[in-house]
């Protein structure tokens, strides 16, 4: 069973005493001349006194700062929390600043049952940002602890103080709840140890998470994969005793106006195979299935929201292990659809399973294909730990960048230089699975492009590849609404992208 966290959300517009809580959170920003107390529900006298005491209290307004004070009788809360929102942009707060501040406060107030968030929320979009931050900050992963001694449960309920009416706020509250559930389920799948999450159990988890939603799930086991010629997934997975799977998750509402395919890399553990990885840091390779978890939960979120778009996720799942049965460097495999690939490095396995998924997705001729994968270490070298790389058709990459900006996630478009294709030439097969080392993130995307099919007019289907090798897993300290380990990144971007696609087609 996939266990995850789910916070209750509500709004209140008037007397705080009528909605008592364990803590009241108000915002402090970094102004040009020092900390600035943001608009809040305190009495004028209390707010003035507090504003004059910020510097002596050591409150700076920096992001992630959460300074606790005794609660005031007028607030109905036992604790008053001064939460930093960072620097003001042209005197205003960006939605992402609100999202991060709310998420950071909820994360740091774990152990309390109910928290009231009183950030400035004049617009509905501000309420949405605070609600999303709260759902993302209320996450923990304790499934394999024998005891919870010393651990704190996440905040169970967040109340948003706002002038926006409960009726007007309800749609964004509902969206935030579903979005948070999808992101947190993604985090939980990524955090699962490989002893518990492997191809077969991943497929079962997809079925479990989809219960009660109008989606259809189809699973290819190893026998069906072999019968139908999915050589990429089979080649990567044959070194493991845990056989590979391909999972198709389809949401197809009757009134769908667009058809989008999502393809996700699902390597439940990556040793590198015969081209084995160094031991140091190999444990993080439990996260090499993050792309599949992202596309799965994106489809489930779309289904939960009832959006009129057909979305199909292809989860390409295998475990990459070294054994007497494993594929070798110099082996040639045949990908679904007939193309052959010379495997020069078995640690470049993600692109092999994704090739099968891209061909399968293309056969249904969607309006666009987006693949998501923890594909290359080169992504971290180019863009660091928090920014995903996006490559492919200009129309899709530009739309993804716009959606990511709106969702508050970091992506950056990268080119696909044509000269990189020649480096993938093979002497014995249609192409090799590795090529030019420098710019390896882009070389990997050029490889994937070879398996994107054509539309009814004979043109290549619009496509984008999102490399999330860095931002999908946080080895550092928690920050904002982001916990350690699995981050659930890109779910928000994909959902925003699909909403944008519908808005354009309306």
The annotation places the binding site for Mn(2+) at 265, 270, 288, 347, 349
Residue 13, Cβ density class (10 Å: 0-12 exposed, 13-18 middle, ≥19 buried): middle
Please tell me the distance from the alpha carbon of residue 426 to that of residue 406, in angstroms, as a whole number: 42
Please tell me the distance from the alpha carbon of residue 28 to that of residue 62, in angstroms, as a whole number: 8
User: Collapsing DSSP states into helix, strand and coil, what is residue 471?
Assistant: coil
CB atoms within 10 A of CB 194: 20
Residue 161, Cβ density class (10 Å: 0-12 exposed, 13-18 middle, ≥19 buried): buried
Contact 202, 264 (CB under 8 A): no
In Å, what is the CA distance from 275 to each residue of 339, 424, 445, 470? 23, 18, 21, 21
Please tell me the distance from the alpha carbon of residue 155 to that of residue 105, in angstroms, as a whole number: 10
Q: How far is CA 308 from the centre of its chain?
A: 22
Rounded-to-5 percentages of helix, strand, coil across the chain: 35, 25, 40
CA nearest to 413, candidates 398, 430, 395, 435: 398
99, 310, 351, 492: the catalytic one is 351
Contact 271, 277 (CB under 8 A): yes
N-terminal to C-terminal alpha carbon distance within the chain: 39
| Cα torsion angle, 467, 6, 191, 268, sign | negative
Q: How many helices (H) and strands (E) does the chain have?
A: 13, 20
**In what helix (H) or strand (E) does residue 24 lie, and over which residues does it extend?**
strand 21-31
To the query of whether residue 277 is one of the catalytic residues in this protein, the response is yes
Return all residues near 67 (Cβ < 8 A) that are at least 6 apart. 57, 58, 59, 81, 82
To the query of whether residue 17 is one of the catalytic residues in this protein, the response is no
SS (H, E, C) 342-375: EECCCCCCHHHHHHHHHHHHHCCCCCEEEEEECC
87, 277, 401, 406: the catalytic one is 277
CA nearest to 302, candidates 494, 49, 172, 39: 494
Residue 351, Cβ density class (10 Å: 0-12 exposed, 13-18 middle, ≥19 buried): buried
As annotated, the active-site residues are: 277, 351
């Amino acid at each position: 069973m996939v266990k995850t966290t789910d916070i209750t959300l509500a709004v209140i517009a008037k007397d705080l005493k009528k909605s008592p809580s364990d803590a009241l959170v108000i915002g402090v920003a970094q102004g040009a001349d020092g900390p600035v107390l943001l608009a809040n529900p305190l009495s004028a006298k209390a707010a003035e006194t507090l504003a004059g005491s910020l510097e002596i209290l050591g409150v700076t307004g920096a992001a992630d700062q959460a300074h606790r004070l005794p609660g005031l009788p007028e607030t109905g809360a036992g604790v008053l929390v001064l939460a930093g929102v960072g620097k003001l942009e042209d005197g205003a707060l960006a939605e992402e600043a609100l999202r991060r501040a709310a998420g950071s406060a909820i994360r740091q107030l774990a152990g309390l049952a109910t928290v009231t968030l009183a950030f400035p929320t004049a617009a509905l979009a501000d309420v949405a940002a605070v609600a999303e931050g709260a759902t993302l900050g209320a996450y923990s992963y304790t499934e394999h602890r024998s005891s919870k001694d010393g651990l704190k449960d996440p905040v169970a309920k967040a109340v948003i103080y706002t002038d926006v009416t409960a009726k007007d706020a309800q749609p964004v509250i509902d969206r935030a709840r579903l979005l948070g559930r999808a992101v947190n389920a993604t985090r939980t799948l990524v955090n699962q140890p490989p002893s518990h999450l492997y191809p077969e159990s991943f497929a079962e988890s997809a079925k479990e998470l989809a219960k009660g939603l109008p989606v259809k799930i189809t699973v290819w086991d190893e026998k069906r994969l072999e019968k139908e010629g999915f050589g990429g997934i089979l080649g990567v997975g044959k070194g493991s005793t845990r056989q590979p799977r391909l999972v198709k998750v389809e949401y197809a509402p009757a009134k769908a106006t667009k058809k989008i395919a999502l393809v996700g890399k699902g390597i439940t553990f990556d040793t590198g195979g015969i081209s084995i990885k160094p031991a140091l840091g190999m444990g993080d390779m439990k996260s090499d299935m993050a792309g599949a978890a992202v596309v799965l939960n994106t489809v489930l979120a779309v289904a939960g929201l009832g959006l009129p778009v057909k979305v199909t996720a292809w989860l390409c799942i295998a475990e990459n292990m070294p054994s007497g049965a494993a594929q070798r460097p110099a082996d040639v495999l045949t990908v679904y659809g007939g193309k052959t690939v010379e495997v020069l490095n078995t640690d470049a396995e993600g692109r092999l399973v994704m090739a099968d998924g891209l061909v399968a997705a293309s056969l249904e001729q969607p309006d666009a294909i987006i693949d998501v994968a923890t594909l290359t270490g080169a992504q971290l070298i180019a863009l660091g730990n928090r920014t995903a790389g996006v490559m492919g058709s200009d129309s899709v990459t530009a739309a993804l960048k716009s959606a990511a900006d709106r969702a508050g996630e970091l992506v950056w478009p990268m080119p696909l230089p044509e000269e990189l294709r020649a480096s993938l030439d093979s002497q014995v097969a249609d192409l090799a699975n590795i090529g030019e080392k420098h710019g390896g993130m882009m070389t990997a995307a050029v490889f994937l492009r070879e398996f994107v099919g054509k539309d009814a007019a004979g043109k290549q289907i619009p496509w984008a590849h999102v490399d999330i090798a860095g931002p999908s897993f946080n080895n550092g300290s928690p920050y904002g609404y982001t916990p350690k380990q699995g981050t659930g990144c890109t779910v928000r971007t994909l959902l925003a992208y699909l909403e944008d696609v519908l808005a354009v087609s309306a």
